[in-house]
Amino acid sequence: MRLFILPSSFQGEEMVRLEGKEYHYLVRVLRKSEGDSFNASDGKGTLYYATVEEITPSVCTLRVQRRGPLERPFPEITLFQCVPKGKKLDLVVRQAVELGVSRVVPVVSRFSVPRWDSPEEKIKRLRRIAKEAAQQCGSLEVPEILDPLPLGAVVEFFQPKEPERLGLFFHQAPLARTTLHQYLSIYRKAVALVIGPEGGLAKEEVTSLEEGGFFPAYLGPSVLRTETAPVFAVAAVQIILLERLAWKLHQEP
């Protein structure tokens, strides 16, 4: 653990009580004892320093001190993932969080097959996965998992034509008129990536995304499975941003 994430009920109090799962994780899994100190986050961008004050058989009390806001070195990345079959979304959320996305929005598109028996349970489960993944990889914030959105609402939601925003959709065909390096050569506060479902995006969906201000991006000729495409897309964007100072465009546009 690089950063312990405080309970979502935390409002900045000096003393925090952990019970149930959070107690179990800190005391049994991480084996923290009275007097141990570690970094913690409220999951909303603020860093705290926490010390274990007391451990009883069912409650652990932490004393927390505010350390200040966490810096956000990178553009915020939102992954709009068209819902794939079965449990694939679990893996997508876990890996996307590890790779540093700020938000995952499940999207219902024409060819997506979201046969969720209990949508509320599913979203709860995804939020739990996101929290665990953020905790494990020392992420500064717990990424949001939003309720599912129809594809037709993605443009309205993200507003890719606003300044400092970049919307990309990934498509099997090389529709892209330019490279990710070029798209990312200009600073953006927010980047959105739209990934289609198993059956891809429908023609009219591609048209409406393009008209709304999303640009097509291309990841090479390999036909990627729905659970690998988002990982490739996020990883590609991240390495280009991470190494932003190392490269420049071959030909300035």
- Site of interaction with its own copies (CB under 8 A): 2, 91, 94-95, 98-100, 136-139, 178-182, 219-225, 228, 231-232, 235-236, 238-240, 242-243, 245-250
Q: In what order do the strands lie in the sheet with 37-41?
A: 4-5, 37-41, 46-55, 60-69, 15-18
Query: Which of 145/180 has CB closer to its own copies?
Result: 180
Residue 217 C-beta: closest distance to its own copies, Å:
10
Query: Which of 123/240 has CB closer to its own copies?
Result: 240
Reported as type and span, the H/E element at residue 57 is none
Give me the half-sphere count of Cα atoms (radius 13 Å) on the Cβ side of residue 250. 4
Residue 37 C-beta: closest distance to its own copies, Å:
19
Residue 252 C-beta: closest distance to its own copies, Å:
11
Residue 13: CB atoms within 10 A of its CB come to 12
Residue 106 C-beta: closest distance to its own copies, Å:
20
Residue 34 C-beta: closest distance to its own copies, Å:
26
Query: Which of 55/240 has CB closer to its own copies?
Result: 240
3-state secondary structure of 104: strand
Query: Which of 170/214 has CB closer to its own copies?
Result: 170
Query: Which of 3/151 has CB closer to its own copies?
Result: 3
Going 136 to 137 to 141 to 146, the CA torsion angle's sign is: negative
- Separation in Å, CA 175 to CA 57, 71, 140, 225, 240: 60, 36, 35, 19, 20
| One-letter identity of residue 164 | E
